[in-house]
Structure 1
Amino acid sequence: MLHPRRSAQAVLLCGLCETVDLQSYCELCNVNLCKACVEEHLSDSSKKHNVVSFLHRKSTSTYPKCPTHVDKQSELYCEKCDVLVCSTCVSKKHKGHKLCNILEKFSSKTESLQKDLEELETRIYPRYEKMASDVQTEKSGLQTNYEKLTTAADQQGEVLQRMVITIANQRKSDIQKMKNKHMAALDKNTDEITQRITELRKIIEDLKKILNTKDVSLTSTYKSRNGEFRQLPPKVQLTLPSLSPSKINKEKLNKMVGSVSSLSKTKEKGCTMKSAEAVLSPPVKPLLDEPRLTATIDSEYRYIYSVSCLSEEQVWTCGDNKIMKLLNLRGKLLTSIQTESGRIPEDIAVTRDGDLVYTDNNTLYLVKNKQIQTVITLQGWVPRYVCSTTTNDLLVTMNSDDKTQSKVVRYSGSTETQAIQFDDQGRPHYSSGYYKYISENRNLDICVADSRASAVVVVNQSGKLRFRYTGHPSNAKQSFYPRGVTTDSQSHILTADFNNHRIHILNEDGQFLRYIHCDLFNPLGVCVDIRDNLFVAECATAKVKKIQYL
């Protein structure tokens, strides 16, 4: 601090009174002292103080207090335990450990810190600044690009709007022409009736004159025309036209407006700067030659249908009763939830937020903090199987009430944002069968295990078919009958072959890679945790097996 009377000079003050220049220093307490405060400091007899002159302190090695023994100084550093120690510590807990002088350690640490500082200032920090600048540049470019897309959408909308107005005007012109014809026919009819009325008036007037004059000649020559006028002139009857608006096909209208290409898969390229600035490639986990069974969990159901990972150590399960169970790897029940309806749940999944969702009859439920909330209730469709996506949406497979149709629907909250049912030729992607476990891959493909079709059906995020996997042409006792399906960090697709008691592993393009056996029996539900451990629910044994395969 600056001295009040010598403001141009920085001085050190007494650490107790903080007003007088220091003169002494207590090496035990690491405190600066003025002459007046030395006596007060020494009056504390609980410690053995060592007060020296401040000048002498400069040539005296200073050591920190021992964290364990407050009356000792830590003069040594234990390499094994990575802690500061005093002589008492050495004789007790650190006997035989590798020790070095703390000042030597301080010197090497200081040198290391200096190198870190230099690297941070000259190499690492500038790289971050450049990255930030690059991101801003990219944001500016994105802004321009999206403005162009928005303008193009507006222009296309205006083109369609003009087309619609043109067509509507043509319809109005047609209507006007029909109206004119209708009116002309009625006008003609009116003229005929008016002419008859004029004639009738003349006849009536003539008859009155004859009767008033009592002229024999006129009376004898009169000829009646009543018979002629008893036949009324024909009345024109025209059927009014009507406009029959066609049902607007939203899908076709969308195609007319045009589509926006989907976002390409974002690849986060991480750069790890070592001394040589080596760039590490993303981790690749090869498949094990022999997958290993690492845990077996007894669910205590009679039959188990589905499993979903909450963590590496905890899984949600559902089976042949109304209770959904959260179990650890030892089979201990951690939490249980009873379905709202009291019926057996169809399927379960864990969201990105760690909440449980399940399907039951015509309703999809969310369990948050043990409270059950209704997400959707459907009419005409029954939700069957469900999974959570990378964007925390829900993908749900469902069947129509009449059991003739199946589709996949994406929900954001309770709002339907996408429906996938038909291919470009209008043919259904999926069979009408019930069993359709579902999973989203890392490349955003949507994978459905369609048991009735004996196929894993994979579409891209827009709903366009990528491929159908119908099993591997190796020897199998039974036909391919896929049930559970899941994906891992390597974009592998894993599906449970129920009848043949094994798991098929495919790459993201549907190429068969290998089987997982591990003495599985009727594998049904499957899921993968964040470390790519596979959990398999064995239906008949009601066990969940944890398998390492990468």
Structure 2
Amino acid sequence: MDPRTTAQDVMRCDFCETAVVQMHCATCLVNLCKACVGEHISTGESNEHKVVKFQARKSIPLYPRCKKHNKRENTMYCNLCDIPVCTKCIATDQHLGHKVSEILQIVAEKKAKFIKEQIELNETIYPTYQNIASEVQNRMSQLEKEYGDLSKAIKKHGENWHREIDKLVKKLQSEVDEMKNAQLQTLQKHLNNINKNISDIKDEIDSIDIAIDTNDLSKQLSVTSKINIYRNLPQKIAPALPKFIAGKIEGKKLDKLFGALSIDSPTSDKHGYSMKTTQKSPETRSSPPVKLLLDEPETVTTINTEYGILNDVACLNDEEIWTKGNGNDSTMKLFSINQGSLLNSITTKSGESPTAIAVTQDGDLVYTDYHNGTVTIVKSKKIEKEVIRPGNNWRPFGVCSTSSGDLLVTMNNDMYYFHGDGTCRESKVVRYSGSKEKQTIQHDDKGKPLYSSKSFNAFIIDKNISENRNLDICVADCDARAVVVVNQAGKLRFRYYGHYPSPKKKAFNPLGITTDSQSHILTADDINGCVHIIDQDGQFLRYIDCGLSEPQGLYTDTNDNLFVAQLINSQVKKIKYLL
């Protein structure tokens, strides 16, 4: 086997192509054996052959050749012209007076710079770009999922519309069938009377025929003509046929009714990606689409609950709501929003009226019971267990489920305390994870009570509560006639005392409270028969005043529809107030 053609062969001399390489000409960049070195030097064009051992070939600098003086090496560098030059170039007028450095110094400086840049590229820039690529890839995957969810939501909404339209078509067709059957029955009865008359007329004709043909005078005298009766023809019945007046389908209005896509304006971080970032930051809550307030809120549907007194509502989902009455009614009722029909009912364990209701992130019903001082969870529409029993004379009132799955509960102490200006009850907000108390919010930075401490009125929710999208905790404190808002840490942000003039020009009386995707805070003002909408910083935006009758409990669904529990008429109104 020829050793020169084998894959494992060592390097061979470029001249003889047989002997093993031992030397290297740094000038001509050829590999040589010792025997061929002399021949190479004698035959080569250069007079400056630099022959070194093959192992030391990379230690010999390869100078660039001068373009003007072809056989000279550029061993110097003109700093002004920023080019390599040879010693002969330096002596010319072109570089006269220019600062010149040794090219090896310039290359060493560049090499040191390259090493720093190599370290930065390997240890910082390259990993950062990998993280960015991974981040973008994850965002793409997330977009795929989010757009898939969006398409599913639109499809589901369309299916809901089809379902409702099918119901409407069946209802109208049923009405048509009922009208048709009623009119056919009327005409059939009329036809039966006419047919009877026809039979009677035929008998009359036969009687007259006998009277005419007989010579029996007695028979002729016994025949009595009824022709006058039949000369009065029956009344003509012409049933009125109903007409179907089709509603006009207008594209733009239909789009508005069905819903439309909304997207925030694209934004970018002026600082871009951070080079120091080697790990992805925790995922933040995505910003919701911006929705504007409607000029005129619209009542979408009204649900009759048949309570003696209704004062709270909570959305199980976009199709079902829980409600509760007051007084002696211990029942919580689940209604279909679209049908208005009763789906289920639950009775409190104590047999007393529940104080407030809410729905957890998992879809479980939670209710507070002031009478036995407990918070109870209902799973699978059956009472599960008492989750919280505060004790020490503390009794729960309002309750809400937070985005983290915790429960926020407002409560008063049943003991009276003497504060120098009269007796009062203490009030606070407590955050629970399961049955474990995590946080208590009771006093401001100066040690003063955040919430009012007047005696409890058993017929209203003394302090209803809701968590805003920015994690603020919002309490409708009716005794203080204020909405009290603290941040997640329990530090007071602001108090809202109403807006004047109010619709009925009466004092602000906040009861129910809820929030929406825009971080709006909505509170029911029963005395003024309206709902106040304020922003997350306490600025009044507008009233919802569309014929509400003593609004009490409030709740918003995932589409920002507002549900209002009305006290005396025991109706829940579903109201659209955002575009």
TM-score, length basis structure 1: 0.51
- Post-superposition Cα deviations, 1:499-520, rounded to whole Å, max 9, x if no partner, equal 0000000000000000001100
Could you list the per-position Cα deviations for residues 153-185 of structure 1 after superposition, in whole angstroms to 9, with x for gaps in the alignment? xxxxxxxxxxxxxxxxxxxxxxxxxxxxxxxxx
The answer on whether the counterparts of 1:340 and 1:372 sit within 8 Å (CA) in structure 2 is no
1:204-283 equivalence runs, <5 A:
266-268=284-286, 282-283=288-289
Change (3 A) 1:324 1:138: farther
Cα RMSD (Å)? 2.6
Alignment match, 1:61 = none
What is the rounded CA distance, in whole Å, between the counterparts of 2:319 and 2:523 in structure 1? 22
Cα distance, 1:411–1:139 mapped onto 2, change above 3 Å? farther
| Structure 1 alignment gaps of length 5 or more | 1-123, 143-262, 270-281
* 1:473 to partner: Cα distance: 2.2
Task: Give secondary structure in 2 for the equivalent of 1:290.
Answer: strand
**Residues 1:355 and 2:373 aligned together:** no
Which residue does 1:397 correspond to in 2? 410
Measured in 1, the distance between the counterparts of 2:509 and 2:322 equals 24
User: Hey, what's the Cα distance between the residues in 2 that align with 1:131 and 1:542?
Assistant: 49
Paired residue for 1:387, among 374, 377, 400?
400
- Give 1:126 shift: 9.3
The structural deviation recorded for 1:286 is 0.1
> Do the aligned residues in 2 keep the contact of 1:291 with 1:518 (CA within 8 Å)?
yes
> Residue 456 of structure 1 aligns with which residue?
483
Which position in structure 2 is the counterpart of 1:331?
340
Q: Which residue of 2 aligns with 1:438?
A: 465
| d(CA) in 2 for partners of 1:305, 1:130 | 44
Kindly provide the amino acid, as one letter, of the partner of residue 286 in structure 2.
Answer: E
Deviation of 1:377 (Å)? 1.3
Q: Distance in 1 between matches of 2:318 and 2:366?
A: 19
For 1:135 and 1:483, locate their aligned partners in 2 and report how far apart those are by CA, in whole Å: 47
| Deviation per residue, 1:176-222 (Å, 9 max, x gap) | xxxxxxxxxxxxxxxxxxxxxxxxxxxxxxxxxxxxxxxxxxxxxxx
Counterpart CA distance in 1 for 2:335 and 2:286 is: 35
Match of 2:314 among 290, 297, 308: 308
1:486 maps to which of 514, 525, 536: 514
After TM superposition, the structure 1 = structure 2 runs for residues 42-53 of structure 1, keeping only pairs within 5 Å, are none
Q: How far off is 1:401 after superposition?
A: 1.2
Picking from 134, 137, 148, the partner of 1:128 is 137
Distance 1:126 1:408, change over 3 A: closer
CA distance in 1: counterparts of 2:438 and 2:473, whole angstroms:
15
Contact kept in structure 2, 1:397 and 1:438, CA below 8 Å = yes
Question: What corresponds to 2:323 in structure 1?
Answer: 317
Aligned residue number for residue 372 of structure 1: 384
- Corresponding residue number in structure 2 for 1:547: 575
CA contact (8 A) 2:308 2:570 kept: yes
Quick check: 493-502 or 377-386, which moved more?
A: 377-386
Counterpart among 532, 556, 569 of residue 504 in structure 1: 532
Q: How does 1:90-239 map to 2 (within 5 A)?
A: 127-128=136-137, 140=279
Partner SS, residue 546 of structure 1: strand
Q: 1:343 to 1:267 in 2, by over 3 A?
A: closer
> Is residue 307–residue 318 contact of structure 1 (8 Å, CA) maintained in 2?
yes
Q: Is the 8 A contact 1:288 1:549 kept in 2?
A: yes
Which residue in 2 is equivalent to 1:409?
430
Structure 2 residue 539 is matched with structure 1 residue 521: no
Contact 1:388–1:395 (Cα < 8 Å) also in 2: yes
Structure 1 residue matching 2:137: 3-state secondary structure = helix
Find 1:466's aligned residue among 493, 510, 526. Answer: 493
- Aligned residues of 2:413 and 2:427 also touching (Cα < 8 A): yes
Change in CA separation of 1:338 and 1:509 when aligned onto 2, cut-off 3 Å: same
- Deviation of 1:267 after TM superposition, in Å, equals 4.5
Tell me the SS of whatever aligns to 2:548.
coil
Q: Is the 8 A contact 1:455 1:468 kept in 2?
A: yes
Q: 2 CA distance for matches of 1:309 and 1:128? A: 36
Q: Given that residues 135 and 280 in structure 2 are in contact (C-alpha distance below 8 angstroms), is that contact kept between their aligned partners in structure 1?
A: no
Question: Distance in 2 between the 1:301 and 1:334 partners?
Answer: 15
Distance 1:129 1:335, change over 3 A: closer
Measured in 2, the distance between the counterparts of 1:267 and 1:544 equals 31
Q: Report how many aligned residue pairs link the two structures.
A: 294
Aligned to 1:420: 441
- The DSSP-based 3-state class of the residue aligned with 1:549 is strand
- Report the secondary structure of 2:470's partner residue: coil
Change (3 A) 1:466 1:300: same
SS at match of 2:296: coil
1:350·1:388 contact (CA, 8 Å) conserved in 2?
yes
Q: Distance in 1 between matches of 2:139 and 2:551?
A: 52
How far apart in 1 are the matches of 2:292 and 2:553? 24
How far is the alpha carbon of 1:549 from its aligned partner? 0.1
Q: Is the alpha carbon distance of 1:517 and 1:414 closer, same or farther for their aligned partners in structure 2, counting shifts above 3 Å?
A: same
Q: Which runs of 5+ in 2 are unaligned?
A: 1-132, 142-272, 417-424, 457-461
In 2, are the aligned partners of 1:397 and 1:437 still within 8 Å (CA)? yes
> Partners of 1:472 and 1:382 in 2: how far apart?
31
Q: Measure the CA separation in 1 of the matches of 2:477 and 2:491.
A: 16
Larger displacement relative to structure 2 (299-308 or 428-437): 428-437
1:124-150, CA deviations, whole angstroms, 9 ceiling, x for partnerless residues? 999406989x999857487xxxxxxxx
Partner Cα separation in structure 2 for residue 140 and residue 533 of structure 1: 39
3-state SS in 2 of match to 1:291: strand
Give the whole-Å Cα distance in 2 for the aligned partners of 1:438 and 1:418.
Answer: 15
Identity of aligned residues (%): 55
Q: CA deviation at 1:477?
A: 2.8
User: Runs of at least 4 residues of structure 1 off by over 2 A?
Assistant: 124-127, 129-132, 134-142, 265-269
Which residue is 2:354 aligned to?
345
The CA deviation string for residues 259-309 of structure 1, in whole angstroms up to 9 with x for no partner, is xxxx9x93437xxxxxxxxxxxx5111000000000000011011111000
Distance verdict in 2 for CA 1:129–1:348, change over 3 Å: closer
| Structure 2: distance between partners of 1:426 and 1:288 | 41
Q: What amino acid does structure 1 have at the position aligned with 2:387?
A: V
How far apart, in 1, do the equivalents of 2:343 and 2:438 lie?
A: 35
Classify 1:384/1:294 alpha carbon distance in 2 versus 1 (closer, same or farther; 3 Å): same
Q: Which whole-Å CA distance do the structure 2 matches of 1:545 and 1:391 have between them?
A: 29
What secondary structure does 1:411 align onto?
A: strand
Report if aligned partners of 1:505, 1:512 keep a CA contact under 8 Å in 2: yes
Distance 1:268 1:138 in 2: 21
